[in-house]
Amino acid sequence: MYANYESTLSNHHRARSIFYLGSETVSKSLMKGEENHGLSALFYDWGKFENEHMNNPKQARLLFDEALNLAGNACGELRSKILFCIGDLEYKNKHLYTAKHYVCLSINESEINGSKSAWTLWANICNELGQKSVEDICIAQAEIQGKKEMNLWMDDDSLLPSNLLKDPNLKQMLGKTPWNRKLAYNTLKDRSLVSPIA
C-alpha cells in the first residue's frame, strides 16, 4: 500500500524500492515456514506498477508469473486479475491466441463471471482474429459486467442471466485445457505455415 501511495505521487523510483523491500521482507518470513502474508498480491501490484509506470513489460510478466505461482486456489479473484494482466501483455505483444487463452482463464477463475475489462479484451482479440459472432457476445457480456460493477444490475432482471451461460460453444472455450495447437502459433501467419495434418 505504501508503494502504491508513493506511485500516486509520481515517486516511481521510491515506489519500486518499497516494493523490493516489501517482497524481500515477506520472502524471508516464507523461508522460515510462515504463511504467504500477501506476497502474491504484492507481486501483482508490483507487476502492474512496472508495466504502467516504468514501461517494463518483461519485468511485469516475471512478477505476474511469480504472483500466480504464489496465489492459492482460494484466491480466485486475485488469480483472475493476474491472468487478465498476463493476457493483456500477450495481446500487446500480438500473441493473440495466447492472450485469448489467458483472458478465458481469467474469466473462468472469477467468481463473478469476469470483469468488464476481461470481456472487452476478449472482444478486442476476437476482432483481430475475425471472430465476429464471438466478439458480439463478448461486447454484450462486457456491458452486463460493467453494469454489475457499477451496481446498476439490481433493478434489471434481464442482466441476471449472462449471455455466456446460454452459448455452449463459449462454455467450451472457457475450459481450462490449453489450446495446445493454437498456443504454439501466436499469429495467423505462423499458423498458415503449418500443414493441416500437423
Q: Are 172 and 178 in contact (CB under 8 A)?
A: no
pLDDT of 166 higher than 80:
no
pTM summary value: 0.77
**pLDDT (0 to 100) of residue 149:** 83
**AA identity, residue 138:** C
Nearest to 141 by CA among 169, 160, 168: 160
State the SS3 of 56-112.
CHHHHHHHHHHHHHHCCCCCHHHHHHHHHHHHHHHHHCCCHHHHHHHHHHHHHHCCC
Higher-confidence position of 93 and 177: 93
CA distance 107 to 26: 29
**AA identity, residue 9:** L
Nearest to 107 by CA among 134, 127, 128, 131: 134
Tell me what percent of the chain is helix, strand and coil, each rounded to the nearest 5: 70, 0, 30
**pLDDT (0 to 100) of residue 89:** 97
